[in-house]
Structure 1
């Protein structure tokens, strides 16, 4: 019991891009305009950060490509992304975590994430038998990766050289965790928002989120009747 009470709270990290038109969620176009895709990315990021504000943590860090905006809650530290490919950027992101506490890295693409999915697995009572956390994504990737004893060296060993955005990405990362002798706690499988079909499914799963409201607004706009080309409309 004393060890549980003395256990340091985890570090929560989110890796994200500044939600700018043409820079984020490009696979949502042409169904969405670049501006709509950016609004959806901002909504997903906002939901993710607000949700993680409710999960006990010692430090919250946004690892950001770009500049922070009004969507960033108070109390978050912001650091720039480092590295060339996504594998290196993910490894560098985990490298920002202090070594004395467990760390969990989450992406910005799962606004359906619920606090209970993380609070229990990261609690001191549970994590004594865990060396790593892995959140698989339905597309074969992963939405979360955590280490009980984070270090830049271990993060690099797990992530560097892994081909990203393939159907085998998650399998390879999980295999590396297990090959390193780490006891892995598997988190629930979630859908990353990449395509319009993904967005529609995630909005249905989390109807009260900023993301769902933004998506439904986008769908209504897309279905609105348009004036025939070459003819002016009257007010």
Structure 2
């Protein structure tokens, strides 16, 4: 392929697969399907293209399989050339690419893989600078491999008798080079992205490294974090039909699990077969924990059966979770009663400022954090209160959505005096709990209304 006029004395080789479904990022499957894997890799490439463009180096793309480069030419539209990888194994293909580029007259060349979407131009410049002092330079990954290798002349020894995909790749390579009198330097270590756990770690880094939220990879991961809605039910024949209708528009965009605690009415009959139903011993904590264990989502959303969701609940959850590991909806009631309005204000103030969330507010939480904190405590009552206290003790920041979730006021039936009496009793029960009265004793004072 004809090379355009050279502007720099150094070059970057992007060593990649064409992002084809079923042929790239397959270690992410089945967490991601083949199409999602290809889209993820495409976003990696877009971020890498930005870094390369800012690196003060000419860029060449070496790819596999042998077919029209297509999408690569669109992403790396400024690249000097596109070549099919040549060689019998990975090491030989990398060596041939570096040799070819250095033979074009470049003084320095670095080769990078495409599992590192967090690479920036400064790391490429760091590698070029390190080549002033070393024969070979590597960019190490946390798992013991490397995302970058660079040199000033082609050194086949770098790739001889080496296997890849294990935790001693870089260590073995450097030891072999040094035994031959070849000096090797290291630049900044980065995290590669090969597994579901790597994506989870990236999402966590986005919450502290806000610049990642504006990358192609970050935006894609914020849009595609998998949500599991977990709904504990017990004798909910009056409410379950209405909730099913609300969830119908969401079921192709998230996982939905109903967890029945042994209903004796027509709840199961009304649930039918449209949604997945699992069974657990009665008790909201037991049921929600069972649902969490059976789920597959990155974000767990615990929803009461008598709740009414805002228009775009999944988007609202993702918006909060890009900056937090746990959050909830604000709560509201379909009532114009002054005391219910007061209850709404108090509940939302408590969630926002005191970081205390209750179940009727629709708690959602990072999957790993949920299990780290020990799930909901096995208690007959106050499980959500204690759960919030445990998160608060860990100093987890709680986010709250822009729009409200409407909760049933069925526990507050009756006139204003009866509503006020129920609120006062609930406050009194929480006070007793803080004074270490047992949850079993408190539960006896808070009858099941179903």
Judged with a 3 Å threshold, the aligned counterparts in structure 2 of structure 1 residues 226 and 134 are, in CA distance, closer, same or farther, namely: closer
Worse-matched range after superposition: 178-187 or 39-48: 178-187
1:84 Cα deviation from its structure 2 partner? 2.2
Paired residues, number: 218
SS at match of 2:133: coil
Q: 1 CA distance for matches of 2:149 and 2:184? A: 10
Q: 2 CA distance for matches of 1:216 and 1:77? A: 33
Structure 2 unaligned residues grouped into runs of 5+: 1-7, 230-252, 258-271, 276-450
SS at match of 1:140: coil
**1:138 matches 2:138:** no
**1:87 matches 2:86:** no
Q: Which residue of 1 aligns with 2:214?
A: 208
Q: 2 CA distance for matches of 1:177 and 1:60? A: 27
Q: Whose RCO is larger (CA < 8 A, sep 6+)?
A: 1
Q: 1 CA distance for matches of 2:131 and 2:91? A: 26
Q: Which residue of 1 aligns with 2:254?
A: 225
User: What is the 5 A alignment of 1:1-235?
Assistant: 9-57=9-57, 59-66=58-65, 67-68=68-69, 69=71, 70-99=74-103, 100=105, 101-123=107-129, 127-149=131-153, 151=154, 154=155, 156-203=156-203, 204=206, 206-220=212-226, 224-226=253-255, 231=274
- Confirm or deny: 8 A CA contact 2:63 2:83 kept in the other structure: yes
Q: 2 CA distance for matches of 1:108 and 1:83? A: 19
SS at match of 2:77: coil
Q: 2 CA distance for matches of 1:226 and 1:197? A: 19
- Confirm or deny: 8 A CA contact 1:111 1:202 kept in the other structure: no
Judged with a 3 Å threshold, the aligned counterparts in structure 2 of structure 1 residues 180 and 146 are, in CA distance, closer, same or farther, namely: farther
1:129 Cα deviation from its structure 2 partner? 2.2
Q: 2 CA distance for matches of 1:227 and 1:198? A: 25
Worse-matched range after superposition: 17-26 or 176-185: 176-185
TM-score, structure 1 length as denominator?
A: 0.83
SS at match of 1:193: coil
Worse-matched range after superposition: 84-93 or 158-167: 84-93
- Confirm or deny: 8 A CA contact 1:63 1:81 kept in the other structure: yes
Q: Which residue of 1 aligns with 2:422?
A: none
Judged with a 3 Å threshold, the aligned counterparts in structure 2 of structure 1 residues 216 and 184 are, in CA distance, closer, same or farther, namely: same
Question: 1:101-144: CA deviations, max 9, x gaps?
Answer: 11100001101112212214414xx6432222111111111100
Structure whose residues are more often helix by fraction: 2
Q: 1 CA distance for matches of 2:191 and 2:256? A: 36
1:230 Cα deviation from its structure 2 partner? 6.4
Judged with a 3 Å threshold, the aligned counterparts in structure 2 of structure 1 residues 36 and 222 are, in CA distance, closer, same or farther, namely: farther
1:169 Cα deviation from its structure 2 partner? 1.0
- Confirm or deny: 8 A CA contact 2:14 2:111 kept in the other structure: yes
Q: 2 CA distance for matches of 1:137 and 1:131? A: 20
TM-score, structure 2 length as denominator?
A: 0.45
Q: Which residue of 1 aligns with 2:287?
A: none
The CA RMSD measured in Å over matched residues stands at: 2.4
Q: 2 CA distance for matches of 1:141 and 1:128? A: 23
Greater Rg over alpha carbons, structure:
2
